[in-house]
Amino acid sequence: MDNLQKEKQELIEMFGIHFESIYHVTPLAARIMGLLILDGCKEGLTFETIVERMGASKSSISTNLHLLLNSERIEYYTISGDRRKYFKASPFSNRLANYIKVIEHEKNLIDKLTLYREKTMSCTQETNNLAHAKAYKAYVQKVENILLESIEEFKEIEKN
């Protein structure tokens, strides 16, 4: 195995470990994402190519591709006259947009906690808890603004 091939395998493994932990997907799904990021960014990879490169069974690849499609981590396209699907990692802006959903959920929880705590404060610790919740919401809103700006930047890059 030449140095570039070895480096690619190491990167796929690193992506795999990273995606397993942040997306809570199977090791195979995480490594498929890594493969698609490295090798599928131009024209995508066919199902057969993914099976060959990953060295896993067709059913395992199929199951994990469906998992990644359903979670919008990857996408596919077809070519007229060609029955195959070409899989690619979703655009980075789309993958980042999933974090907006998490942030929205977080803000909702913080708001509910704040309303509850304002009604029930009876000691110093609960007053501090309310202050922490409000400070945390301000932080989450800053993160959301930065993320929204980044998504717009990535959309501009992806247009090209």
pTM for this one? Answer: 0.79
The whole-number average pLDDT for the span 4-26 is: 93
Confidence at residue 40, expressed as pLDDT on a 0 to 100 scale? 79
The whole-number average pLDDT for the span 93-117 is: 92
CA gyration radius, the chain: 21
Beta-sheet pairing, 74-79 with 82-89: antiparallel
| Cα–Cα distance for residue pair 66/59, rounded to 1 Å | 11
For the cut 70, the answer to whether the pLDDT of residue 15 exceeds it is yes
Q: Which CATH class is domain 3-90?
A: mainly alpha
**Residue 41's pLDDT band (cuts 50, 70, 90):** confident
What is the residue extent of each domain of the chain? 3-90, 93-159
**Residue 1's pLDDT band (cuts 50, 70, 90):** low
The whole-number average pLDDT for the span 27-33 is: 97
Report the share of the chain in percent with pLDDT over 90: 84
pLDDT digits (tens, 9 = 90+) for 49-98: 999 999 999 999 999 999 999 999 999 999 999 999 999 999 989 888 88
Helices vs strands, H then E, count in the chain: 6, 3
CB atoms within 10 A of CB 76: 17
| Cα–Cα distance for residue pair 43/62, rounded to 1 Å | 19
| Cα–Cα distance for residue pair 74/72, rounded to 1 Å | 5
CB atoms within 10 A of CB 10: 10
Confidence at residue 127, expressed as pLDDT on a 0 to 100 scale? 92
Q: Which residue has the tokens 């609960």?
A: 126
Confidence at residue 153, expressed as pLDDT on a 0 to 100 scale? 95
Q: Calculate the CA 155 to chain-centre distance.
A: 16
End-to-end CA, the chain: 34
What region, left, alpha or beta, does residue 42 occupy, with left being phi > 0 and alpha being psi -120 to 50 degrees?
Answer: alpha
